Structure 1
């Protein structure tokens, strides 16, 4: 496939200042397009031209690092990501050219990102899972550049590629196994006990995440038995509520008593008939491998690919299947420890199995940690 593509003009001096996405053999352009639409709702292909060496047509010489090389302006496709950003390609590269650019030798296809340079503050110390602090030591990208660069890194992680950052020349090769969380997006709601039963078909030791104690209402005497004296209003256990009423201008003793009685009645009603849960969690203790949680709640921010589908019109429920290791800070490390990778490798199949089980019951779509859709057959 790469042989039929235009070759990347590695002699272009401006190439060193632009961000590049390098991919291994076998990744089609439509796969990159789908990932673009998953993040940028208006992404679409455009026609552009690119100076490419050793092509037939109108040839003109250009000065290169190795002397005079013949190039021609040929039409190439560009994927418009945002108003000021577009991704040209795919371009074929040899192993030698890829290594010369700092990309892995297995790179056969390169996409060239043209985007604005928008930088903010120097990075603070701390987690850097994607390596962006290392790649932008003088100032992290912001606004549109931040969005498109983060998308490039997510693409590289999903497709097994690498990103070369323009200017610094730092090459980011995100671990394809570095993010194992999955989210099921569906239009159906499972009650906590029903969701627990589904998860237990995969991991029998799963349990509901519940508070360790129950609220039984205000302390005895709150809002009752208050007196007034020279030192002001006091009450047995209810000074907080009475002070709030005072602050809101409720000074009449009878009105305060009525409002406090209504508050007590509401508390009693909530204790007797609590409202249905709007969110809940299911926990799976993996011992030394950490914890898997399933968090169910309404979702308002959908990937662009799902926003206009009929089944999402009346609301969507997200079931987030999240893995948390014993050392949480390692989740944000670009190169976590070997024990972390071992634990992650043992947890990943269980995350996938739980997600598959929920999908089999609820249907819907599965998204990965970058909001890219995942085929259930690939889990």
Structure 2
């Protein structure tokens, strides 16, 4: 790694960093021209060269890297990574002891003290995700730390960063024993087929664990459930296991059909008793509205940004209108599980979209419950963007 350089922070951002904000914002740095090679160590200082923190250079989203410590005497070395990863694993001790859930997050980036890095656990297999070339420069430290303090079947890694102008989504087997995929993990007693060797998505989004449990235990019984942007159909499986009368899963990706069939099958459910549709969700909403098809429950969990041949969706701009389409085909007294993982706004803003959507459709609603990230997705108050998940269960009424 290159030698450490000093980055100067503009005066108006100093208190933000003193209060523990970990992301090196581009607009906060005075001398960004000093940044040459990702992975180089940084000393953060105010305009009078007074110490603010230490970190590394790694381009990710709106940032130039992450602050790792506010202790001027702390070194960023093997011992630093050993301590951070050991501490994170100890916090998840109860998860490792839970026989009903064998897939969860064991290291959550800046929430556990190292921005740009996540580590997930799938029944003995660890999956490291590197979000910048900068954090990847510390690969040897992280791998050694993980191998020294865990018993593992195998370790895989995923690289999600730009290099040479080309976006990389690469999966590598690192060490241990190669898995025979899919492997079957458990989440609250439900079987889930996962593939940690098939791209950035493994087959289930671990951050929705508590939401899936709520759907199964509280909301699905006797309901006709529509699961939009359904991916591998995990929400549908939990709904079916919760006693749903029927589920309909809709996703544009061709892979969603075999993957959803697989998830139903590993739980001993008859997938043919449910509908699995490979089509544009926006087209399906129009189709259902024209045909008078309605549902008792709709799960609305779109990606932050999506593009099909005829539609471009942005959560920041379009969620309200998408929710209006869902409202139009939800039965009175039906429930909508509205969800977004967009980090650019908080829960209050999200709930304002909900309020406006119901106002414009002339319907009343009641918020039944709210969810954010589960406890294994550790966050810090100094970085609210890190607590990105927002889920609201809404009951619809007519005026």
TM normalised by structure 1 equals 0.24
Larger RCO (CA under 8 A, 6+ residues apart) = 1
Kindly indicate which of the two structures has a greater share of residues assigned to strand. 2
